[in-house]
Amino acid sequence: KESPMDLSLVDLTKILLAMVAGGLIGMEREFRDKAAGFRTLILISVGACLFTMFSARFSPTGDPARIAANIVTGIGFLGAGVILKAGDRGLGLTTASTIWLTASLGMGIGAGFYGLVGAAALLTMIVLWFFPRIEHAIDNFREERTYEVVLPIDAEKVASLEQGFREAGLYVRSHRQVKALDAIKVTWQATGSIKAHEHLVHRLISDPAVKEFRY
C-alpha cells in the first residue's frame, strides 16, 4: 500500500510537466502584461494537477469526477475576477479563458494524459501567439466607434454630417442629439473599416462648423 509520505518519480514528473505547461502559457500572458501572468498560471496548473492526483488517492474506488467538477467551478470564480466591464465590451475575457484552459492542462497531466495535454498546449500557444495578427487584420476591416460632435444648432448641418458618415463608408448604428444653449451635441455610433474611420476624422477636423469632437 502506498504511503502518504511517498513521492514517486511519476508524481514529480507530473508536477514538473504542470509547471512547464503553465509556464509556457504564462510567459505569453506576461509578455503581453496581462493580469494573470507567469507565476499565476504556473500555480493554477500545478494546483489543478495536484487536486487531480489527490482525488484518485483520497478515494481510489470513488468518483474522482467530483473533485474535477469542483476544480472547474473554483477556476471559474478565479477567471471571473480578471474580467472587467468597459462600456458595452468585456475586457480580460482572453485571460479568463487562459486561466480556465491552463487548469484543464494541469488536470490532464495529473490524470496522466500527457499526449493530449501536449497537443492542447501546443495549439494554445499557436492561438495566443499567432491569432492576434488575424484578429488585428479582421479589426482593420470592421471597427466600431462612438463619435461625439458639437455643432451649431442647425438641422441641415447635422443631416449633412450624418450623410458624411455614409459617404466615408461607415454604417451608422445609432444617432442621438442633446441640445445646449447655443450648440447641439450629436452622438453617432458607427461601424466600418479603419480607413473609413480615418477618412471621417479628417473630414471632422477640416470642417469649420465642427466646434469639437471626440471618439
Q: What is the pLDDT of residues 175-213, one digit of tens each?
A: 889 887 788 999 999 999 888 999 999 999 999 889 899
CA distances from 44 to 17, 55, 100, 108, 162 (A): 13, 16, 9, 13, 51
CA distance to 19, 24, 79, 123, per residue, from 102 (Å) = 10, 10, 11, 12
79 HSE (CA, 13 A, CB side): 19
What are the pLDDT digits (tens) for 30-84?
Answer: 888 887 788 989 999 999 999 888 887 766 555 667 777 778 888 888 777 777 7
Quote the CA–CA distance of 134 and 127 in Å, as a whole number. Answer: 10
Query: How big is the chain by its Cα radius of gyration, in Å?
Result: 26
Full-model pTM: 0.65
Q: Give the integer Cα–Cα distance in Å for 156 and 162.
A: 10
Number of other residues whose CB lies within 10 A of the CB of residue 80: 11
